[in-house]
Amino acid sequence: MEGRKRNEPGHIVAPLQAQESSWASLEFAAQVAKALEVELQGLLLEDEEAFAAASLPFTKAISFQSGAVRNFDIVGLEAAYRASASRAKARVSTIGVQHAVACSFSVLNRFGKQTSSSSSDVLESSTALLVIDRRQIEQWRRQSNRKWLLGVAPIYLVCNPVSTKQTRIRLLYEGKRETLAAAAKISTSLSFTLEVLTLADNRDTLDRRLRQARDWIRRRQIKAKVSGLLTDDREWLHKVTNMTDDDIVLFDRTDLLSSLVG
Amino acid sequence: MQDTTRLEVGKLRWHCDPDQLGFESSDELDAIEKIDGTRRWSEALKFGVSMRRAGYNIFAIGPQGIGKHHITRHLVEDRAKAEPIPEDWCYVYNFSDPHKPNALRLPAKRGRAFKNDVEHLIADLKEVVVATFEGEDYRSRRQMIEQEISDHQESTMSEIEKEASSQSLMLLKTPMGFAFAPVADGEVIQPQDFQKLPAEEQRAIEQKIETLQEKLQKILQQVPLWMRQVQQRVRDLNRETASFAVTGLFDGLLQDYGDLPEIPEHLGTLKADIIANVDGILQMPDKVPGDDDQQASQTPLLRRYGVNLIVDNAENQHAPVIYEDNPTYDRLLGKVEHRSEMGTLVTDFHLIRPGAIHAANQGYLLIDAQRLLSRPMAYEGLKQTLRSGTIRIESLADHYGLVSTTSLEPKPIPHNVKIVLLGERMLYYLLSAYDPEFGELFKVVADFDSEILRDQKSLGQYSRLIAGLAQKADIKPLDKTGMARLLEHSARLADDSSKLTMHAETLREILVEADYWSDAAKRKSVVAADIDKAVEKRDYRVDRIREQTQEHILNQVITIETDSKSVGQLNGLSVIGIGDFSFGRPSRITARVRLGSGDVVDIEREAKLGGPLHSKGVLILSGFLGSRFCVDYPLSLSASLVFEQSYGGVDGDSASAGELIALMSAIADLPLRQAYAITGSVDQGGRVQAIGGVNQKIEGFFDICRKRRLSGEQGVLIPASNKRHLMLRHDVVEAVEAGKFHIYAIETVDQGIELLSGLPAGSRDATGAFPAGSFNAAVADKLKSFADARRKFGAPGHQAGETQGK
């Protein structure tokens, strides 16, 4: 981690929910952390709306496994989250050992406070790379209290960790070389192909960015396909969203992420 | 009389003339390892090994050290060379009853190939299966199945979510499960806001939530069913894919082993099991690098597909001949081992270990009988195997219920093994007497001679045998004098000058030690002096007790007279055995008599120092005295006999002739010459019979006499029937030759009496009386006087005091 350039990802954040489905994205995040030689940080998110619902006198919880109905209250929910946090923490630790990466774990509680973090506030850091499971985005989009997660990190990596066809990283490039470097490292380390889709709202900028990207890639002898797309018409977003589910998408424009998933 | 019974020098020892042997050195001889011939044991062994019927197992009997193991093995191996290589056997997993592994039979040499082929299949299995399951075809078909259910779930949940949304409700996924909550402006209503709502609206919300909960509940209750359906479809797909993947692996095996009756069936079940357990194969961890123990590192699933080859005849060229040196139950019949796994003992068919009987199947198994009988349950186990005709591997601990660990019951393997037990005669006789099954299972006895008759032919063969022993022991050759001396010693070991011992082990030891002394003397071959020295030193090493005993006699701690005359006393001779070494020792036998009712008291017996044979000998004396002297009047004496200064046990009847003469001397009150010692048993008619250890006995008395100075009068009386056993030491022979010592061979007690008393024994004349002045006449007179006295004691009115007064 020595000699890291400014704005390069300094740690990988893997947001976790109290569900088994989170483990796949955690596993993938560990691979990314290993590729970039940075720390992996697991972040368990407490759902504030769940607590609001548990405060209502008549709400019930229906078991995922059996469909059994039981009381749904704050005390029970807190206990369930504590249990989830314990499991998630153990899991993060295990995955860290398996992939030989430094790791930490923290909980973002319903009041928006981060607990038990071993480093600075992960989401306020300017060097976080947030690994998001594409399936989580769908949920977060529906739940307003998590939408904010989609706009706080400087770099996002959207993946579909359960897909067996994940073999390509697509970078939506808008001129930040640190993001380009991160994408190159990840693709090389995981033996994925790299495609750089350069975006600009005018031809001059697009050409300049294309040149920069190609030069950078050529100098480092990286195999990558570089293409450009003007964002001056209405069709560009449609073209971008046509990317397949199996692609890993890396980009640094949060508005673009919102647009893509919203 | 003395002239007829005194033995000439030439009768005292067989002398082997080196010049008559026909060679100068043993290395000129064509060495042999056994002496051929149509001897009983040889015929019996040949018959036993050829007879391939149940129960015709062999018991080769003979004394320890005569080389019966070697000879038997040699003969059996000769036979085995002409017999075919047996079949191979292996144990495999029993898929229908894992507790009872199956035994598979394969033609000779194909077992190892089969095991290797199956191991290759196992090694390739995971790779092939994984490759197939990672293929595009399988993955897309599986994804389709999973996608189908996922879509179904998604759409169902999506409908519920939409319905909730349409009713201003939100479906939340929490760690406690799903929950519905009312929303306002896209967010869950806070409790305080909810309380502000009109009661009717609150009830309506609650009602809506309740309805949705019921709906969701019904959907969730369906989920396990959907999952099961998916799992079943995935399983079906897996089976189909696995079948496709492994068929290629099995085709080759079926082609190679399809001609064998049991293998295709096993391969069929193996394939079916692999297909049924393909999930397990896919989930198996990769091999741990550096773990060389392939079998142990295999998962239980893969281990069960392997082959445990327990009989591998790949290296054999003919029927096996196995000698089991340590015939424990397990080593004979095999066992099921266990290994520790997470603190418990587990086993499987790979841990079945074959026994010697597996290795010897369709061949020969040689076992030392004494070792077999001394190993717990080994003999019983062997008999059970012979009775049943099958080898059943059962743990001894299971027999006794000593362990509760799960074990296996491997399927029994049929056998056709010829057992050859080797042991001493006593074992054979005991087993024959006490084990009713023994005779049925060991019908052939091969009785090894412990010596052979000495003639010109056997001397030639024996010399070649010694040459063979010398070669095998890697020692120098023997020159003709060394060979001649060893042949003489062999006759002495046989205790018979007309025979040669077959105790090859003792001969080998003497050869090795003679070689040592030859080296010490810097000779290039072993000569007579080396043999003499080897024998002398062997004796000397174990000679302490003999020396001590002789010292006690010479110091008169033990009284042995060698030059005077005494009444009722003479020198008897006994043999003391210490391990392999034995020596003769003179003992003073004394007899005392008095008036009595015909009892001859054996003091040794009364003191519980005499054995039954000795007592028998003493009882015979009464019979002799009665029949010779007291035909028409009662034997009216009480006599006591004792081995003076004997503190150990006495057995055998070899002193009975001496005891009789001592008793008669006491009766007749006539002295006996103590310069003589006598050995020999006697019958009721007064005939002197053969005894054992004649050489040692003579030498024992000779040593005492020589150390006291040979007077020329001393000598030993031996039974005439022991003449052929004489192989006396050279120093004894030389003393006899010089007239300093004498050996007399007597046939009757009377001959002994005359030698010992110097008086004629005397025979009854026509009137039935013994001649006056004869030894027997004195005995007869005294016995008559005893009878008369006894009659007087029995007369009416007779008082004890009167007799004493007279």
pLDDT digits (tens, 9 = 90+) for B741-760: 999 999 999 999 999 999 99
Contact B188 A52 (CB under 8 A): yes
Tokens of B26: 């043993």
- Identify the closest residue of chain B to A63 by CA–CA distance: B177
pLDDT, tens digit, 9 for 90 and up, residues B100-127: 999 999 999 899 999 999 999 988 888 8
Name which of A138, A148, A76 is nearest B157 in CA terms.
Answer: A138
- Identify the closest residue of chain B to A61 by CA–CA distance: B179
pLDDT at B593 over 80: yes
Identify any residues that bridge with B583 across adjacent strands, giving them in sequence order.
B576
Among candidates B161, B174, B223 on the partner chain, residue whose Cβ is nearest the Cβ of A61:
B174
- pLDDT, residue B35, reads 74
Q: Count Cβ atoms below 10 Å from residue B37 Cβ, excluding itself.
A: 14
* DSSP secondary structure letter of residue B189: P
pLDDT at A245 over 70: no
Contact B179 A18 (CB under 8 A): no
Identify the band that residue A164 occupies on the pLDDT scale cut at 50, 70 and 90.
low
Q: Which helix (H) or strand (E) holds A108?
A: strand A103-108
Q: Which among B138, B143, B172 is the top mutation candidate for probing chain A, defined by the most A β-carbons within 10 Å of its own β-carbon?
A: B172
pLDDT, tens digit, 9 for 90 and up, residues B31-76: 887 776 547 788 888 898 888 888 999 999 988 877 788 888 888 9
Residue B227 sits at the chain A interface (C-beta within 8 Å): no
Range from A206-215, B58-67, B751-760, B775-784 carrying the lowest mean pLDDT: B58-67
pLDDT, tens digit, 9 for 90 and up, residues A113-146: 666 544 445 555 567 888 888 777 766 665 555 6
Contact A144 B206 (CB under 8 A): no
pLDDT, tens digit, 9 for 90 and up, residues B643-683: 888 777 777 788 889 999 999 999 999 999 999 999 999 99
Name the active-site residue from B395, B646, B654, B656. Answer: B654
- Identify the closest residue of chain B to A65 by CA–CA distance: B220
pTM equals 0.63
- pLDDT, residue A118, reads 44
pLDDT at A260 over 70: no
Contact B217 A67 (CB under 8 A): yes
Tokens 């960790």 locate to: A161
Q: Backbone phi, then psi, for B740, in 5-degree steps?
A: -95, -10
Identify the band that residue B161 occupies on the pLDDT scale cut at 50, 70 and 90.
confident
Q: Which helix (H) or strand (E) holds A86?
A: helix A74-99
Q: Report helix, strand or coil for B336.
A: strand
Q: Report helix, strand or coil for A115.
A: strand
Residue B199 sits at the chain A interface (C-beta within 8 Å): no
How far is A72 from chain B, CA to nearest CA, in Å? 8
Cα distance between residue B631 and residue B687, in whole Å: 19
Q: Residue B128, by phi and psi: left (phi above 0), alpha (psi -120 to 50) or beta?
A: alpha
How far is B249 from chain A, CA to nearest CA, in Å? 27
- pLDDT, residue A144, reads 56
| Residue-by-residue DSSP string for B571-634 | EEEEEEEETTEEEEEEEEEEEEEEE-SSEEEEHHHHTT-B-HHHHHHHHHHHHHHHHHH-SSS-
Among candidates B174, B182, B187 on the partner chain, residue whose Cβ is nearest the Cβ of A77:
B174
CB contacts of A17 in chain B (<8 Å) are 173
In this structure, the dihedral spanned by the alpha carbons of residues B87, B92, B95 and B97, taken in order and rounded to 10 degrees, is 80
- Alpha-carbon separation of residue B655 from B8, B575, B619 (angstroms): 24, 11, 13
Cα distance between residue B731 and residue B267, in whole Å: 81
Q: Report helix, strand or coil for B509.
A: helix
The residue length of chain A stands at 262
CB contacts of A144 in chain B (<8 Å) are 186-187
Among candidates B173, B179, B219 on the partner chain, residue whose Cβ is nearest the Cβ of A72:
B179
**Mean pLDDT value across chain B:** 87
Name which of A50, A45, A4 is nearest A22 in CA terms.
Answer: A45
**Residue B611 CA neighbour count, 13 Å, CB half:** 9
% residues pLDDT > 90 (chain B):
48
pLDDT, tens digit, 9 for 90 and up, residues A19-45: 666 788 888 899 999 988 899 999 888
CB contacts of A61 in chain B (<8 Å) are 174, 176-179
Residue B697 annotated among the catalytic residues of the structure: yes
Q: Are B527 and B482 in contact (CB under 8 A)?
A: yes
Q: Are B28 and B392 in contact (CB under 8 A)?
A: no
Q: Residue B116, by phi and psi: left (phi above 0), alpha (psi -120 to 50) or beta?
A: alpha
Contact pairs from chain A to chain B, CB under 8 Å: 101
Name which of B681, B686, B695, B682 is nearest B723 in CA terms.
Answer: B695
Cα distance between residue A185 and residue A37, in whole Å: 10
Complex-level ipTM beyond the 0.90 threshold: no
How far is A176 from chain B, CA to nearest CA, in Å? 36
B321-324: strand order across its sheet: B321-324, B364-368, B418-423, B58-61, B444-447
How far is B343 from chain A, CA to nearest CA, in Å? 26
Identify the band that residue A4 occupies on the pLDDT scale cut at 50, 70 and 90.
low
Among candidates B139, B175, B221 on the partner chain, residue whose Cβ is nearest the Cβ of A18:
B175
**Residue B374 CA neighbour count, 13 Å, CB half:** 9
Name the active-site residue from B68, B476, B697, B740. Answer: B697
Tokens of A36: 């970039």
Among candidates B161, B186, B213 on the partner chain, residue whose Cβ is nearest the Cβ of A69:
B213
> Which amino acid, one-letter code, is at B745?
A
Identify any residues that bridge with B422 across adjacent strands, giving them in sequence order.
B60, B368
Mean pLDDT of A246-253: 76
Residue B458 annotated among the catalytic residues of the structure: no
Residue B203 sits at the chain A interface (C-beta within 8 Å): no
Q: Report helix, strand or coil for A144.
A: helix
Q: Count Cβ atoms below 10 Å from residue B269 Cβ, excluding itself.
A: 15
